[in-house]
């Protein structure tokens, strides 16, 4: 069986693929859903995902910090996403078993900026919006 890692258990994709436990930026490593292992990880801490990646062949990087109430979009959104992605990929680079990385994006990339999200009718995002 192929062992995989999901870098986050927060957001739409992880909500539909892993159970809700631990903090939202924890990692889940599994060979199949019944054999999941959960690891405490911090996107902003270098090497935090390395232990969770041990023996994984695939990494799904689904973690992407996003908040509606921000003052500095560059620092609070862009810089944090870049740093978190660098840290996860840094662990990938030193984990010899990883053969594939799947990087997902934030819904913000598909819809718009933070200000747009506050004006959605019914607070619902869809392809029709």
Among 17-21, 34-38, 46-50, 74-78, the minimum mean pLDDT is found in 17-21
pTM over 0.95: no
The Cα–Cα gap between 102 and 111 comes to 21
Among 10-14, 106-110, 112-116, the minimum mean pLDDT is found in 10-14
pLDDT in tens, 96-111: 999 999 887 766 666 6
What pLDDT, on the 0 to 100 scale, is given for residue 129? 47
Tell me if 129 is assigned to some domain.
no
Is a pLDDT exceeding 90 seen at residue 91? yes
Pick from 22, 39, 28: which is nearest to 4 by CA?
A: 28
Q: Is 6 helix (H, G, I), strand (E, B) or coil?
A: strand
Tell me if 115 is assigned to some domain.
yes
Q: Please name every residue paired with 103 in a beta bridge, in sequence order, or none if there are none.
A: 61
Tell me if 128 is assigned to some domain.
no
Report the relative pairing of strands 100-103 and 58-61 from DSSP bridges. Answer: parallel
Containing structural domain, residue 38? 4-123
Contact 35, 76 (CB under 8 A): no
Domain count, the chain: 1
Tell me if 118 is assigned to some domain.
yes
């Amino acid at each position: 069986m192929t062992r995989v890692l999901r870098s986050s258990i927060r957001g739409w994709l992880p909500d539909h693929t892993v159970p809700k436990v631990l903090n939202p930026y924890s990692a889940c490593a599994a060979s199949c859903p019944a054999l999941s292992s959960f690891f405490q990880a911090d996107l902003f801490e270098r090497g935090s995902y390395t232990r969770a990646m041990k023996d994984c062949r695939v990494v799904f990087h689904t973690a992407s910090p996003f908040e509606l109430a921000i003052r500095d979009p560059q620092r609070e959104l862009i810089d944090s996403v870049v740093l978190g992605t660098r840290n996860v990929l840094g662990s990938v680079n030193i984990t010899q078993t990883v053969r594939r990385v799947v990087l997902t994006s934030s819904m913000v990339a598909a819809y718009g900026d933070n200000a747009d999200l506050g004006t959605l009718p019914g607070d619902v995002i869809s392809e029709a919006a």
